[in-house]
Structure 1
Amino acid sequence: MRQTSSTTYTGTAIAFHWLMALLIFAAFPLGVYMHELPLSPIKLRLYSYHKWIGITVLVLATLRVLWRTSHRPPALPASLPRWQQIATHAMHHSLYLLLLLIPLSGWLMSSAKGFQTVWFGIFPLPDLVAKDKALGDLLQEVHEVLNFTLLGLVSLHILAALKHHFIDRDGILLRILSTHPK
């Protein structure tokens, strides 16, 4: 496993991080908004956009996990208490897992509800399960729970980064903002 700079993430890691953040910040509110709309052409269009973003997140998350297996992130500061190091690793593993499970649950839900996922309106993806209304309803609940879990974890992630930046002043936030050591 390649070690990055002792104080910063690589440009690739930074690009993955911020692109994924942008996609999540687009997909989540879109999902909440479109869910409450009455059936209409605009709702169907928004569902397509939401699926496009979701499949893109799944592809990028897969690439990110594969890339991460051979690229070690910078070490946490030695001054960080052990419990915070454990919490940091648990948070990152949980976020990676959710970035894979959420789009998969959406794809499974679409399949079970009988709506094929067509990435960017061009690439039809295979249905992962047969049409099954009860399974589709269950997967919809799973998808919602996973998304709200992600919302909670992302909120904690942001709050922790801000705490480290403004209170602890330990440079942890700066590591994901620039490839140049501070």
Structure 2
Amino acid sequence: MQWRNTNDRFGLVTGSLHWLMALAVIGLTALGLWMTSLTYYSPYYTSAPFWHKSIGLVFAALLVLRLIWRAATPSPAHVASHQRWERRLAAGAQWLMYAAMLLIVISGYLISTAKGRGVSLFGWVEVPALISNLPDQAQRAGAVHYWLALGLLGVAGVHALGALKHHFIDKDNTLRRMLGMRLLNATENRK
């Protein structure tokens, strides 16, 4: 597998960022939902938010890297068998997920900095609180963070179902291109 995207498949960098961020979205959402259910007396009451915020900062850096890489590296051509509506739906879902991820990161930062404290990255460095003490900052940002995270999971679920549909029903190269699998040739693709 090549580092960069080619005309017919995604490269190692794009694929790695895709799958790493997909796992992070699922993990951060699960951790976030779990940690908000903890009581003050839970042994994880302070450690769970610490991990959620630290991993969230890593996720933010990966998102910036992914957007830069996407701008610098052309995507492969569309699979010839894809219908126009499928291409539009896929592009819309991708940009919707990017926008949701960006807003989730921003709202998470606003929750964490609402009282003027910075955000620790695994205790190594602190990202300063540049925006704080806005009216109801933590509550408003928290609502945006929560609902966008759930919405992102929904759109990502539809995205995954589309990829599975292309792989198992249409039997085309859509998922194979992102997994680094051997591509079907044109005659195999028509079966």
Please give the TM-score of this superposition, normalised by the length of structure 1.
0.92
In the TM superposition, what is the alpha-carbon distance from 1:18 to its structure 2 partner? 1.1
Q: Which runs of 4+ in 1 moved over 3 A?
A: 179-182
| Higher RCO (CA 8 Å, separation ≥ 6 residues) | 1
Aligned partners of 1:98 and 1:150 also within 8 Å: yes
Alignment: residue pair count = 180
Structure of greater Rg: 2
CA RMSD of aligned residues (A): 1.7
Q: Give the structure 2 partner of residue 22 of structure 1.
A: 23
User: Taking every aligned residue pair, what percent have the same amino acid on both sides?
Assistant: 34
CA contact (8 A) 1:113 1:133 kept: no
| Aligned amino acid, residue 139 of structure 2 | D
For 1:32 and 1:26, the matched residues in 2 are separated by 10
1:101, 1:26 → 2: CA distance?
18
Deviates more, 1:4-13 or 1:163-172: 4-13
Whether the 8 Å contact between 1:109 and 1:140 is mirrored in structure 2 is yes
Separation of aligned partners in 2, 1:165 and 1:32: 32
1:48 corresponds to: 50
Question: For 1:123, which of 104, 122, 125 is the aligned residue?
Answer: 125
- Cα distance in 1 for partners of 2:122, 2:69 equals 24
Unpaired runs of at least 5, structure 1: none
Q: How far is 1:166 from its partner?
A: 0.7
Bigger CA drift: 90-99 or 43-52?
Answer: 90-99
Partner of residue 33, structure 1: 34
Unaligned runs of 5+ in 2: 185-191
TM superposition shift of 1:175: 0.6
- The equivalent residue for 1:146 is 148
Please give the alpha-carbon distance, in whole angstroms, between the structure 1 residues aligned to 2:181 and 2:116.
45
What is the rounded CA distance, in whole Å, between the counterparts of 2:152 and 2:130 in structure 1?
Answer: 23
* Match in the other structure for 1:174: 176
* Of 47-56 and 115-124, the range deviating more from structure 2: 115-124
Letter in 1 for 2:26: F
> For residue 16 of structure 1, what is the amino acid of its counterpart?
L
- CA deviations 1:14-73 (Å, max 9, x no partner) are 111111112112111000000011124512100010011111111000011011101111
Among 75, 92, 96, the alignment partner of 1:90 is 92
* Contact 1:11–1:179, Cα closer than 8 Å, also in 2: no
Distance 2:82 2:59 in 1: 31
* Residues 179 and 5 (structure 1), Cα distance of their counterparts in 2 relative to 1, 3 Å cut: farther
Matched, 1:73 2:103: no
Structure 1 residues 67 and 179, CA gap change in structure 2 (3 angstroms): farther
Q: Distance in 2 between matches of 1:138 and 1:99?
A: 17
Contact 2:15 2:179 (8 Å CA) reproduced = yes
